[in-house]
Amino acid sequence: MSQAAHGREGIVAGEYLLTADDFTRIAALLHDHAGIHLAETKAALVYARLAKRIRALGLENFRDYCSYVARSDSADERQQMVAALTTNVTRFFREGHHFEHLKTRVLPRLLDHARAGGEVRIWSAGCSNGQEPYTIALVILSLMPDVARHDVKILATDIDPNMIEEARAGQYGESALTDLPKDMRNRWFRKIPGAGAPNWRIADEAREIVAFRELNLFARWPMRRRFDIVFCRNVVIYFEKARQAELWQRFSDILKPQGHLYIGHSERVSGQAAQHFAADGITTWRHTGRAGQ
């Protein structure tokens, strides 16, 4: 059988046909746009998530969808495609040891600096629906209830516009709140009367110190100031090694000397960036020790 014939065989068949060629085109688009590596074992997931888009656009099959999404005037659909294929799993206080470390070892010095009139800047890169940056905000509020009077700000970004919209709303269902310490939950969340889920709203004090923006990590970063702390956790695992190395280098450039980078438990800073971090006194935290250990 010729390669071309093989490429047009269905690898997932349902309401629409997804062929190996279609999968290759979708994987290439996702890689070019968002740096995400898609293994062919994910064909069923691609089918399940994109069949909805094909239906919404009134197209006949994945082949037509691939042509549509590759068109130069389809930037919005490319964004929808990326949003449909990314994993947005997150939790308040996910990898809780990071927040204990932040609270006891990193923030005290930085918040003293803020009390003395200095600025503190934190970036949650790949923030999903906001639970990571809001957790940071709650930890800050536990140490500095009058944070609004100081120059302490969290930037929270994600490639997925749907996540940014949810994050800005700051409303979560009951199940999202289960990992929150009771006192924090009582103090910083309000039940919205009469609302269906998600019906718990985070307090304005937390919302006011977080700015949410849509940002593809592989696009130009518009931020002019450097950060004291970057959280980029459970994001780079979806990128191939060369793309990861590119990002580590960019994080090293955008962190202040003596800054801190928190990464997910299965992630590791690779390439030359590790030396640059060390030279600038930037520490990367994966477990509770240095990431490189």
Q: Show which residues are catalytic.
A: 49, 158
From the list 3-11, 17-25, 110-118, 216-224, the region that binds ligand SAM by CB under 6 A is 216-224
Q: Nearest to residue 212, comparing CAs of 282, 155, 281, 285?
A: 155
| Omega cis (within 30) before 108 | no
Question: Is 78 a binder of ligand SAM (CB under 6 A)?
Answer: no
Give least dist CB 165 to ligand SAM, A: 12
Question: Is 98 a binder of ligand SAM (CB under 6 A)?
Answer: no
By rule CB under 6 A, what count of residues binds ligand SAM? 23
Question: Is 94 a binder of ligand SAM (CB under 6 A)?
Answer: yes
The strand pairing partners of 290, in sequence order, are 285
**Other C-beta atoms within 10 Å of 280: how many?**
15
| Spatial distance between the Cα atoms of 17 and 243, rounded to a whole number of angstroms | 31
Q: Which is nearer to ligand SAM, 11 or 235 (CB)?
A: 235
From the list 24-32, 50-58, 87-95, 142-150, the region that binds ligand SAM by CB under 6 A is 87-95
Name residue 276's amino acid: H
Question: Is 235 a binder of ligand SAM (CB under 6 A)?
Answer: yes
- To which residue do tokens 């940002």 refer? 215
Q: Compute the C-alpha angle 245/96/163, nearest 5°.
A: 65
Question: Is 5 a binder of ligand SAM (CB under 6 A)?
Answer: no
Sign of CA dihedral 249, 255, 259, 261: negative
Question: Is 80 a binder of ligand SAM (CB under 6 A)?
Answer: no
Give least dist CB 129 to ligand SAM, A: 8
- To which residue do tokens 């800047």 refer? 121
Q: Nearest to residue 163, comparing CAs of 80, 230, 265?
A: 80
Residues 18-77 touching ligand SAM, rule: CB under 6 A, are: 34-36
Q: Which is nearer to ligand SAM, 19 or 157 (CB)?
A: 157
Q: Which is nearer to ligand SAM, 159 or 176 (CB)?
A: 159
Name the DSSP letter for residue 192. P
Sign of CA dihedral 96, 101, 104, 109: negative
Question: Is 162 a binder of ligand SAM (CB under 6 A)?
Answer: no
Residues 118-157 touching ligand SAM, rule: CB under 6 A, are: 126, 128, 132
The strand pairing partners of 190, in sequence order, are 201
Question: Is 166 a binder of ligand SAM (CB under 6 A)?
Answer: no
Is the Cβ–Cβ distance between 125 and 231 less than 8 Å? yes
Question: Is 260 a binder of ligand SAM (CB under 6 A)?
Answer: no
Is the Cβ–Cβ distance between 203 and 188 less than 8 Å? yes
Among 24, 61, 88, 142, binds ligand SAM (CB under 6 A): 88
Among 4, 5, 39, 89, binds ligand SAM (CB under 6 A): 89
Question: Is 234 a binder of ligand SAM (CB under 6 A)?
Answer: yes
| Spatial distance between the Cα atoms of 116 and 122, rounded to a whole number of angstroms | 18
Q: Which residues bind ligand SAM (CB under 6 A)?
A: 34-36, 86-90, 94, 126, 128, 132, 158-160, 163, 216-218, 233-235, 238
